[in-house]
Structure 1
Amino acid sequence: MALAERLAHFLSRKSIVYRQIEIEVADSLDAAVLASGRPQHDFVRASMLIDISGVVMAVHRFDSTLDLDAVQQFTGRRLQPLTARQATRLFSDCAPGFVPPVGAAWGVPVLVDEDVVSTERVIFTAGTDHCLVEMDGRSCRLALAGAREGRLVINGQGAGGREALTLQEVADKLQKLYRLPPMPALALRILRLTGNPEASAKELSELIEFDPSMTAQIMRYARSALFNYPGQINSVQEAVTRVLGFDRVAHIALGIASVQAFDVPRKGALGMDNFWRHSLYCAFLSQTLAARAGHDKGLAYLCGLLHNFGLLLIGHLFPAEFDELNALREINPEASMHSLEQEVLGHSDRQEILVVGHGAIGGILHRLWQLPEPVIKAAGMHQHMGYHGEHEEYVVMVQLANALLKEQGIGDEFNLDNIPELAESLGLELSDLELVMQEVEQVASDLDVLASSLAS
């Protein structure tokens, strides 16, 4: 039989016009697409998902990757891929791996990506290993009548996923295969100084003054409206003692010095300009949340400031993948960063290292640099909602800061989040968050100016 029995019956009953395309027997849907000689973009496919409420079919273009975070947000359900065995039982009249994207033929509810609905012509598997179905846009829409339409995918090229290594294996491979950037000498000296309880403002100021650019940036920071200091600031030591305080200066100087380890483009959604803007806002917001939640403000600031260093490391070691990720971030403004990384990093020739995502990679780097444990955890786990474990409060502060900034169009973290739940875990009310965001609004222009100066 050329078409799966239920598909043939459904198309006939609905009087849907289509054309059969006979191909050589293929051992997979990918092979069938290649055997057809037609562009991959003409094909649509079915991704089968399941949760406690039942099975759902997601229909999207063959050359796109389903964004599970977007699907969850769209449906309000925690859907996971159906196993091959489950799919074989459900679609018993289809060859394994050749499920047609016409869920109504099997009584399965369908989600369809908006890009498919507007297509002029589609090709898809007929449910057998030797035949394809082609139909025009009108017939496709009839076949998908009743489906829920939404944005379900990441735009861009995709391929089958591969199994990722454990985090320890990733760390071992990174250190073995690549020359990870050492912490710059000045950053290391600042870090050591902050670990000395007897360190003085004078010692910190003298360290900073070794770098004229950093000196200028610290001075600009101290003179900004962020602190509204009424007097004149003439030296770094005065900035430390009169305005900023030892910890704040040490942390911003550590961030400035550390970034010098990386060679990353300035422009783009993930470029250095936006990196600094996101980091400074997240640092300020994390510090403000910490003050209200009764946690260490300086440590929270450092967690927010350094949590995204994994992106810099990816950009430094793997510029081609970083450029692709940067481009995808631009054209998929609502996709989660995790999904974009699975799309780009999970299919590159370095996928076994990079598929863990920039958060985990940043945590690896911070551990190598011997940064404080809360900073390591905040970097490593900020992409993992629902994290429970060591230094959880600092992870949650960064997650909450990113969630609040997302509403302001700042940053790159578009992972699913639950602001009330995150706030509650820190003992904060939604009214606290309103006040916090008012504080951010008051200093936004100064944070923007500082970010621009740091990126240049």
Structure 2
Amino acid sequence: MPVPTSVETLLSSQNIHYDIAATPLGSDDRLVWHDQHLRNVGAARSILLQDEIGRVQVVIAANSLLDVAAVNRHLNRDLRAAGEQELKQFCEANQFHSVPALPQVAGLLTLVDNQLLEKDDLLLDSGDEEQLIRVHGTEFQQTLKDAIVCEISVPLEPLETDPGSAEDTAQIEGAIRNFTQLRIKQRLEETLELPPLSDTAQRIIKLRVDPNADISDLAQIVETDPSLAAQVVSWAASPYYSAPGKIKSIHDAIVRVLGFDMVLNLALGLALGKTISMPKSGPCGELPYWQQAVYMAATIEGLVTAIPRDYRPSFGMAYLTGLLHNFGVLIMAEVFPPHYEQYCKLCEANPHTTPQAIERHILGVNRDQIAGTLMELWSMPEEVVVGLRHQQNPAYRGEHAIYAKLIYVAKALLRQHGIGLGPKEAVPDALFDELHLKRDKAEATIANIIESTDELEHIANALNPG
């Protein structure tokens, strides 16, 4: 397939000599995911920003993070990433799969990161996911006649390096020290100044370790919190579970639909989620948080079911870990409110980057470190602590690593279908093997999730009072 017509026209008009580099096939004979391929080969990618004045094109290396604030300083504007619908319309109008990494490809004002000029040869996103454009560095510089060359990115690799959980407390304290410019209090829990666990959450945690706990004990706790009770009943009554008849009570939800273990962990996850508030609206607001929690919990539920019984982890722990996987973003919104809007803007402008890398760029610490530390302070199960802390590290080998790996796989599969923040990448066969999970069964689980989008959105909306 040739490069898009407008790209070919632009290259020809500037007498640019170029070659085509085809996207390779993976082990399953599928094209390597576009985000992953650009990153693997160090190609240049293009990002579309906009404000009330109009659109701006930005070209950076795919292995770097776009600094939106730097762009706005250069142009004295208030740009942020074009929305998903606007980007789709732009690409369809120009017959692109993605925005080509060529200046003025659609007649837009273009900023080019100066790091690209240091390369002798460059691979550029062609706008077609099946191939890249290869040009010599001097040829690329010919395209910059009307572009603004400036420093607008930072390398991703240092931001993605996991320092190990032993350094979490020191890094969190350092981030808070830099943030507040105040002396760090002696205890992390006091430093974070987070609300204490609710009475409901504390009672559920105690119930979790009580070997004699039964359905009546759990129902009694949930029923004392009207909001929580309504959410659990709504979850059980949702079309996703297709429960026969009307759900009339918490006891009914436990016995007929969800089961003791699931309601216990669902109630705990919901109670913790209500402990901290966050912005009610926006792409990083309360509704997207609950949408991610619901999709992840449902996906984890399906993946664990697909694992043979001899290798299957605790269903309840896996489900709770999935429901809480994004808990660190709540803490960020609470502890670092002035930086949260900046974080949201960078997430929108860097869809090729994990949120954790953006957090380390802004704060020097990421959500997984903060969430794992807080879960320890709250005496949550070790499975949850490990799952949240190491969810970005598929190579983690410690005890309870299976919970972290399940989240990693679930997030990657959901991202491939446009659900969740971060790049679209393939899941290695070795990771499926470690989980004793067949790839086709995992993909069938995701297909079921996609088919149930309306039902899952209904659950998320019910959890979001805003």
Letter in 1 for 2:376: R
2:446 aligned residue: 437
1:321 aligned residue: 339
Q: Distance in 2 between matches of 1:189 and 1:265?
A: 27
CA deviations on 1:340-381 (whole Å, 9 max, x unpaired) are: 2233x2xxxxx3xxx231111111111111111111111111
1:234 aligned residue: 248
Letter in 1 for 2:359: E
Letter in 2 for 1:339: A
**Cα shift at 1:56:** 8.0
**Cα shift at 1:208:** 1.0
Q: Distance in 2 between matches of 1:123 and 1:304?
A: 37
**Cα shift at 1:172:** 5.2
- Check the 8 A contact 1:69/1:336 in 2, yes or no: no
Identify which of 280, 292, 309 aligns with 1:266. Answer: 280
Identify which of 138, 144, 168 aligns with 2:138. Answer: 144
CA deviations on 1:110-137 (whole Å, 9 max, x unpaired) are: xxx9376766798979x9xxxxxxxxxx
1:341 aligned residue: 359
After superposition, the CA RMSD in angstroms is: 4.1
Q: 1:450 to 1:64 in 2, by over 3 A?
A: same
CA deviations on 1:322-351 (whole Å, 9 max, x unpaired) are: 1111122223333322332233x2xxxxx3
Instruction: Say if 2:101 is the partner of 1:114.
Output: yes
2:407 aligned residue: 398
1:170 aligned residue: 171
1:360 aligned residue: 369
Q: Distance in 2 between matches of 1:159 and 1:422?
A: 27
Identify which of 187, 190, 197 aligns with 2:204. Answer: 190
1:91 aligned residue: none
- Check the 8 A contact 1:268/1:330 in 2, yes or no: no
Q: Distance in 1 between matches of 2:225 and 2:329?
A: 25
Q: Distance in 2 between matches of 1:264 and 1:438?
A: 31
Q: 1:60 to 1:411 in 2, by over 3 A?
A: closer
- Check the 8 A contact 2:413/2:443 in 1, yes or no: no
- 1:73-84 to structure 2, matched below 5 A, reads none
Query: Aligned residues: percent identity?
Result: 28
TM-score scaled to structure 2, two decimals?
A: 0.63
**Cα shift at 1:454:** 0.6
- 1:384-395 to structure 2, matched below 5 A, reads 384-395=393-404
Instruction: Say if 2:330 is the partner of 1:312.
Output: yes
2:10 aligned residue: none
2:420 aligned residue: 411
Q: Distance in 1 between matches of 2:383 and 2:103?
A: 45
Q: 1:394 to 1:146 in 2, by over 3 A?
A: same
2:125 aligned residue: none
Q: Distance in 2 between matches of 1:250 and 1:244?
A: 10
- 1:9-408 to structure 2, matched below 5 A, reads 68=63, 114=101, 144-145=138-139, 166-171=167-172, 175=188, 177-293=191-307, 294-343=312-361, 345=362, 351=363, 355-408=364-417
**Cα shift at 1:57:** 10
What secondary structure, in the 3-state scheme, does the structure 1 residue paired with 2:139 have?
Answer: coil
Q: Greater RCO between the two (CA within 8 Å, min separation 6)?
A: 2
Q: 1:450 to 1:321 in 2, by over 3 A?
A: same
Larger Cα-atom Rg: 1
- Check the 8 A contact 2:45/2:59 in 1, yes or no: no
Runs of 4+ in 1 over 4 A off after TM superposition: 55-61, 63-67, 115-125, 155-165, 171-174
**Cα shift at 1:384:** 2.1
Gaps of 5+ in 2: 1-40, 48-57, 67-99, 118-134, 144-150, 177-187
Q: Distance in 1 between matches of 2:398 and 2:426?
A: 18
Q: Distance in 2 between matches of 1:427 and 1:233?
A: 36
CA deviations on 1:39-81 (whole Å, 9 max, x unpaired) are: xxxxxxxxxxxxxxxx9898999x998653789xxxxxxxxxx
Letter in 2 for 1:265: P
**Cα shift at 1:171:** 4.8
Q: 1:233 to 1:334 in 2, by over 3 A?
A: same
**Cα shift at 1:178:** 3.0
**Cα shift at 1:156:** 6.6
CA deviations on 1:56-110 (whole Å, 9 max, x unpaired) are: 898999x998653789xxxxxxxxxxxxxxxxxxxxxxxxxxxxxxxxxxxxxxx
What secondary structure, in the 3-state scheme, does the structure 2 residue paired with 1:409 have?
Answer: coil
- Check the 8 A contact 1:385/1:417 in 2, yes or no: no
Q: Distance in 2 between matches of 1:211 and 1:303?
A: 22
TM-score scaled to structure 1, two decimals?
A: 0.64
Q: Distance in 1 between matches of 2:398 and 2:193?
A: 31
**Cα shift at 1:258:** 0.8
Letter in 2 for 1:114: A
CA deviations on 1:367-398 (whole Å, 9 max, x unpaired) are: 11111111111111112232222211111111
Letter in 2 for 1:231: G
Letter in 2 for 1:420: D
**Cα shift at 1:426:** 0.9
- Check the 8 A contact 1:202/1:237 in 2, yes or no: yes
- Check the 8 A contact 2:64/2:154 in 1, yes or no: no
Gaps of 5+ in 1: 1-54, 72-112, 128-140, 150-154, 346-350
